[in-house]
Amino acid sequence: MKVLILGNPDSVWVKEFVRNVMIPLEAEVFLQESVDRGTNYYDYYKKAGVKIITIVPVPKWVMILPKIRAIIISKHQRKSCSRHAPFDVVINIFVSPELLSQAASYKRGGSKVYAYFCGSDIIRSSKINYLRLKLGLKQCNGVICASSNVHEAYSRKIGHTTGTPVEIIRLGMSSFDFIDAQLLCGNKSNFKSSWNIDPKKIAICIGYNANQAQNHLSVLRQLRNLSKSTLSKMTIVLQMTYGGNEEYIANVESAVSGLGCDFKLLRPYLNMPQIAQLRLLTDVFINAQVTDGLSGSVLEALYAGSSLLNASWLHYKEYSEWGISYKTFFSFEQIPQLLTEAMYDTSNNTVNREILKSQMTWEQCRDAWARLLK
């Protein structure tokens, strides 16, 4: 089976999908490199036997012309991939109008074409964007959604207008293995100390990137209502390692520094062992973002044993079905009280860990894709 995957080869989700699904299914995998920088996982892909399709260079002047940049890049991508066609299967992971159009173009050569929506690619998609998607979706053999929230967003924005079959296939969580490995090396207090966080204080993580959609400022404004005694017992951890912009990050730093409690603002990009340690040292995780599918970072926090304060507008059908334990806030004003309660109930939730270990496996993802492609 000859498979072309269209998506960002630098994405850990693309890499893990290839490693845990496509390679075990004995697929001959082709990836097209990023237009401007190749791929950071080149060595892994080479050792795994994945073919990296080099994109015909795009002139630098093209990259500063947004109106024609996408058109020219798409043309270069199609030209580069056509040398390796035909493909049995073409999958666009993290769907975009440009890549989906490219994927659909191979259907004329006999390829089966699938669109794999993983989260923000449909949940935060603008009306113009999802209207552009519809033409490519009509050419697909199937649409795959990575969670029930993604499926609901797809149903609301696209619906059955394309006539394309839709099903849910969740991605696996490779990060759980890193958390398990770190648990063999230390405990919560050890990890806090190694990150220069007082082991005696409650580590509270707000969001997982620097995007203002995480609502850091709205949460921090509410924390001003906590007593000085309560604030003195906590360390606020802000993972600002990707996304966002410098102005917003500066505003967040100003807001948290004005609270008078310990805080740690993380900037350098974290590798998987570091992320595992961060999740394990976190006592309470506040998930207050605007929209979400089924966030891997929040799942990691739950798996690591963090208490979760989750916004009511982020309803996860999976959590209800699986029996995941967490606390819900219906307004930002409720956060101080719920946080105070959670600070005194910080024992690891092993029930959540066992549930997630059984549900978020790459095996279920691989089996589902095997059935689909069969």
Least confident of 3-7, 51-55, 253-257: 51-55
Predicted TM-score (pTM) of the model is 0.84
Q: Is the pLDDT of residue 62 over 70?
A: no
Give the pLDDT score at 175. Answer: 94
pLDDT in tens, 254-313: 999 999 999 999 999 899 999 999 999 999 999 999 988 889 999 999 999 999 999 999
User: Hey, what amino acid is at 361?
Assistant: T
pLDDT in tens, 70-97: 677 777 777 788 888 899 999 999 999 9
pLDDT in tens, 25-43: 999 999 988 765 667 888 9
For residue 346, name the pLDDT band (cuts at 50, 70, 90). low
Domains by residue range for the chain, with CATH: 2-169 (3.40.50.2000), 175-359 (3.40.50.2000)
347 versus 291: the higher-pLDDT residue is: 291
For residue 219, name the pLDDT band (cuts at 50, 70, 90). very high
Give the pLDDT score at 39. Answer: 74
Give the pLDDT score at 347. Answer: 59
350 versus 124: the higher-pLDDT residue is: 124
pLDDT in tens, 121-136: 898 888 888 889 998 9
